[in-house]
Structure 1
Amino acid sequence: MKKALAAGVSLLVLLLGGVGTALALLATAGAAEADHVSVNDVPEAYRSWLVRAASGCHDPGMTPALLAAQLFEESGFRTDVRSPAGAEGPAQFKPGTWATWGRDDDHSGSASPYEVGDAVMAQGRLMCSLLGQARASGIADDPRRLALAGYNAGWAAVEGSRGVPPFGETQRYVADIMGNLGRFGGPGLTWEITGGGTGPDAARRAATQVGVPYSYGGGSPAGPSLGHCDGEGGFRAGQCLADATVGWDCSALVQYAYWPIRQLPRTAADQYSATADHPVAQADLRTGDLLFWRHSDGHIYHVALYLGDGRMISAPKTGDVVKETSIADMPAADFAGATRP
């Protein structure tokens, strides 16, 4: 029903005129969905606590799915677990760590690592802190991977290794959790990507990179990579971040999403030129269509993949991460059009 509503609003606006107005109303049609987060395949007792814990952290890498995949790895959602090393409960807190992060979040009268609400909220607080340390560290890796490694092996081990420590247990721990994100709801999209075909498949592929840092000039069909700084980008507050950041810029993410089914060129301008012979009207937008923005001189400076209901996924700018946002977050006056690869 939401998709039909968005399409109907778009058609009405096109009849009345105005691309900028169309984009604004498309975004409004999806506003109710924008704050919704979901998590799948978890026991009911955990569901609301996972959403609450994730929403309490402002880091874009924090999602209910990340916490769920971590709990599955730690305890399989069992509450009565105690490891030989003394880690307790579903989130496997040792007493010393629990003393720092544990609270009586479920208002039962005591803070217990064996109670679902207390454990999940403490897990969320610790992971949020670790994500913050990961982003501030300058280590060239996905902050989620670094935070997970810190949870398992301690942040000192991550800093000492300048990445995920070369411990077999920690390496498996991080790989298992990142590999299970899709099972528990994906890596953070509020818009469910449904259907098959090239466009939806490309959007799903892009969605696997949510939370990965933006890196100007970074990324290729093989995956995220170090970027570079030049006269056009890569700097933040006068500091070059791109040459020390493994990640994506906007066009590399789009190229990766469609590869190898559709081998798009590398830059946003070239992608626009390569697909301009297949323009798409606002009323006809489908999942995976490309959205382009340009400066007043005509230069295409940004590309994103359409998700539906006024939502898109893209790598926005230096200092940010790959994420889902509203189309209305971009300047309506700069919108150059949409194409279908």
Structure 2
Amino acid sequence: MAVIIKVVGGVVALLMVAVIGVVALVLVDDAQADEMSDGGGGLRGVPAEFRPWILQASKDCKEPGLTPSLLAAQLYQESKFKTSVREATSRTGAQGPAQFMPGTWATWGRDADGNGAASPWDIGDAVMAQGRMMCSLLGQAKHSGYSGDVRALALAGYNAGWQRVEQFHGVPPKSFANGETYNYVQIILSTMPRFEGPGLVEITGSGDGPDAVRKAATRIGTPYAWGGGGPAGPSTGFCDGTSGYLNGKCSASTTTGFDCSSLVQYSYWPDLKLPRTAAAQYGATSDHAVSRHDLKVGDLLFWSHGNSSGSIYHVALYAGDGNVIQAPRTGRNVELAPLTSAMPESDYYGATRP
């Protein structure tokens, strides 16, 4: 069998993101973020007064891409969670923690906190309006036919207006507005991990398996990209002549995400260094086969064409209660799904325990 390397002791992973663009754009300040209260619900590093509204806005949206960490990273980019008139009024007249222009607020603003007034300065009103607008933009992005990450398209629409996304058939390039929108999108997507807390899926227990599933759960909503992703997180993939295509076009090369095995590899890394492909992951763990009736959180589940280990084509993580976390296929996102319908039932091959 292939060798799995078990790392003993703590490993600190440093992610350095270099962004070239407009000076006015800001990156998350680690010291300040660490001072903010952390907590569950798939979210950390935000002020306590923002947390319930971010979680509610994410829950209310049926688009899986609107995760709490995306909303939090966007709010930080817009205002650093500031709420005063002096600190949260832009030079162009945008107002409040979610930076709404008055005309846009007239469309999306509601009295979410029930205090009798709909105000872009009220945290609840602002965050829920941000969520409604982003949810709508994600829906537009999904049905637009434009290539790339739907979250990037939605963020570009929030920053520059959807008409600019239509104009450029995607995220406006660096040449547009001195790169403001382009860099706005890149910064928010790259800083999302700072705000990712324990997953939205309730996972009990401790150890490699539950820890891996908690980590995987923070990626629910991330797009599928054939050949994309790895230990460091999501990345663009590639097309191989058969896989990675959507509506006749190579989607993987312009989509930042995971495929099934890279999600599993990412989830266990660095404590358990699994190989890259589903077949190799089966080969590395097959000496610890598990009956379907004895599954535990974190077990690996495999599907095969022709009931052969040489034809394994899919792997998922068992999340408990008959569910799996998986990156299913091109055009879909990382999801929580029932084991019985995650893939064709007749293709189920078996399970192993890393």
TM normalised by structure 2 equals 0.69
* Equivalent in 95, 111, 120 of residue 118 of structure 2: 111
1:1-341 aligned within 5 A: 39-40=43-44, 42-80=46-84, 81-138=88-145, 140-158=147-165, 160=168, 162-163=170-171, 165-166=173-174, 167=179, 171=183, 174-176=186-188, 178-183=190-195, 185=197, 189-192=200-203, 195=206, 197=208, 199=209, 202-203=212-213, 206-207=216-217, 209-219=219-229, 223-228=234-239, 230-231=241-242, 233-235=243-245, 241-242=251-252, 244-258=254-268, 264-281=274-291, 285-295=295-305, 297-298=307-308, 299-330=311-342, 331-341=344-354
1:225 counterpart letter in structure 2: T
The question of whether the paired residues in 2 share the 8 Å contact of 1:42 and 1:184 is answered with no
Per-residue CA distance 1:212-256 (angstroms, 9 max, x = gap): 32234444566522332645x445566664455443321233344
Higher relative contact order, chain-length normalized (CA < 8 Å, sep 6+): 1
Q: Give the paired residue count.
A: 303
2:99 counterpart letter in structure 1: Q
**C-alpha distance in 1, partners of 2:340/2:136?**
30
**C-alpha distance in 1, partners of 2:69/2:250?**
32
The question of whether the paired residues in 1 share the 8 Å contact of 2:235 and 2:258 is answered with yes
Per-residue CA distance 1:83-119 (angstroms, 9 max, x = gap): 2321112211011211222233445444321223321
1:49 counterpart letter in structure 2: W
Per-residue CA distance 1:60-97 (angstroms, 9 max, x = gap): 11123322332233234343332232111221101121
Structure 1 runs not aligned, ≥5 long: 1-35
1:129 counterpart letter in structure 2: S
**C-alpha distance in 1, partners of 2:260/2:266?**
10
Per-residue CA distance 1:109-154 (angstroms, 9 max, x = gap): 4432122332122101111122233334555543323423432344
Structure 2 runs not aligned, ≥5 long: 1-39
**C-alpha distance in 2, partners of 1:336/1:237?**
29
The question of whether the paired residues in 2 share the 8 Å contact of 1:200 and 1:287 is answered with yes
1:77 match: secondary structure: coil
**C-alpha distance in 2, partners of 1:306/1:100?**
42
1:189 counterpart letter in structure 2: L
> Please, which moves more after superposition, 199-208 or 113-122?
199-208
Query: Which residue of structure 2 aligns with residue 27 of structure 1?
Result: none
TM normalised by structure 1 equals 0.71
Label 1:76 to 1:193 Cα distance change in 2 as closer, same or farther (>3 A): farther
1:339 counterpart letter in structure 2: T
1:171 counterpart letter in structure 2: N
Aligned-residue CA RMSD (Å): 3.7
2:195 match: secondary structure: coil
TM-superposed deviation, 1:284 = 5.8
Q: Which is helix-richer, 1 or 2?
A: 1
2:103 match: secondary structure: helix
**C-alpha distance in 2, partners of 1:48/1:196?**
29
The question of whether the paired residues in 1 share the 8 Å contact of 2:228 and 2:256 is answered with yes
2:120 match: secondary structure: coil
2:349 match: secondary structure: strand
The question of whether the paired residues in 1 share the 8 Å contact of 2:111 and 2:119 is answered with yes
1:253 counterpart letter in structure 2: L
The question of whether the paired residues in 1 share the 8 Å contact of 2:305 and 2:347 is answered with yes
1:336 counterpart letter in structure 2: Y
TM-superposed deviation, 1:258 = 4.5
**C-alpha distance in 2, partners of 1:207/1:51?**
15
Query: Which residue of structure 1 aligns with residue 17 of structure 2?
Result: none
> Please, which moves more after superposition, 71-80 or 112-121?
71-80
